[in-house]
Structure 1
């Protein structure tokens, strides 16, 4: 009986990740395929070819993102994007949604800041209990001044949903930088601590900090 149970569990561990991956990929492809609807009907691939090819919307999405990025990166494009953003920020309700989404995208996808680049170990919610956190900022001028501490802003994710959590500010002397990557830490959080990354004996990097922040 134990052998049967072991085989069933082994089968579940093989098929569940494959099934979830397949469903998520199919959902993403179906969503991006809907972008083909922006093309005139006579130019849509289904009409030209006479049959449907899944995934063509992915190609169109990549092309649109690339062209948009190329436009926004040049002088004229920056002025166009700036004018569009100025218009969006003047609409009462839209400006809150657009501004929040833009700030989040800049934090997550920009390479020019230190947000979500380091995995930290902090004592929370009390001394002697440790939890994972992500560094989101070290430029806390007012907080540094008012507390007299060298403080790091940390995001403590909840499990199994790491998109929610707490923002806390911890003195640098109480923060430990881990060698695991952000992806490894997210897997650990989502798996409820079951998936633990293999530890590599490497020297832990210092937390980046700008004087006078």
Structure 2
């Protein structure tokens, strides 16, 4: 392969890697737009009026703002408490609903009871260090979620002794950025030097 072809392929790869984040963001925007369009079609198909459809979306927006404000200022509103009570009585759905709430609460800043520490753990073998989310604690044991790169939503859940982990100063955003960037966006060099 001559130098010109190598340079051409190199520029091509650099161009691909430069465009990938834009494509991912566009895919997310298109997905959300599709969901909103589908909802709009359902509401418009039922009401058969743009006025009623826009009224529905406006009222929905203000209801969600009100629920968010109530949660921040007073805690869970009664409507969500009633819904929780109903879902708790439905087998299978209650398990999925409970787990989803815990996962969302772990990543939100308002629930301080859920552990949100970031640690390093030797996984899958000694001498190989991975960043992990602490999702729960039981006395001297930690339940960890070890995400895989570049998709932080897939990974492994492990239980380890607390002596086997090394605390990190990273927050959830920083560790997620580390995982998604496959290590490119990582500025905790001092922490890495301290790992045994």
Task: Flag whether TM exceeds 0.5 (same fold).
Answer: yes
Q: Distance in 1 between matches of 2:122 and 2:51?
A: 56
Give unpaired runs (5+ residues) of structure 1: 49-56, 145-149, 203-213
**For the Cα contact (< 8 Å) 1:41–1:47, is it kept in 2?**
no
Q: 1:199 aligns with which of 182, 188, 192?
A: 188
**For the Cα contact (< 8 Å) 1:136–1:154, is it kept in 2?**
yes
The CA deviation at 1:134 is 0.9
2:34 aligned with 1:30? yes
Match of 1:6 in 2: 10
**For the Cα contact (< 8 Å) 2:107–2:172, is it kept in 1?**
no
2:126 aligned with 1:153? no
CA RMSD of aligned residues (A): 3.4
Match of 1:90 in 2: 89
Match of 1:190 in 2: 180
Q: 1:169 to 1:97 in 2, by over 3 A?
A: closer
The CA deviation at 1:71 is 5.3
**For the Cα contact (< 8 Å) 1:133–1:156, is it kept in 2?**
yes
Match of 1:205 in 2: none
The higher-RCO structure (CA 8 Å, 6+ apart) is 1
Q: TM-score, normalised by structure 1?
A: 0.66
Deviation string 1:27-76 (CA, Å, 9 cap, x unpaired) is 2133134443436332448899xxxxxxxx7x87654421233456788x
Q: 1:42 aligns with which of 44, 49, 58?
A: 49
Match of 1:69 in 2: 68
Task: Kindly tell me the number of residue pairs found equivalent between the two proteins.
Answer: 182
Match of 2:164 in 1: 174
Q: 1:61 to 1:122 in 2, by over 3 A?
A: farther
The CA deviation at 1:116 is 6.1
Give unpaired runs (5+ residues) of structure 2: 192-196
The CA deviation at 1:133 is 0.8
Q: TM-score, normalised by structure 2?
A: 0.71
Q: 1:131 to 1:187 in 2, by over 3 A?
A: same
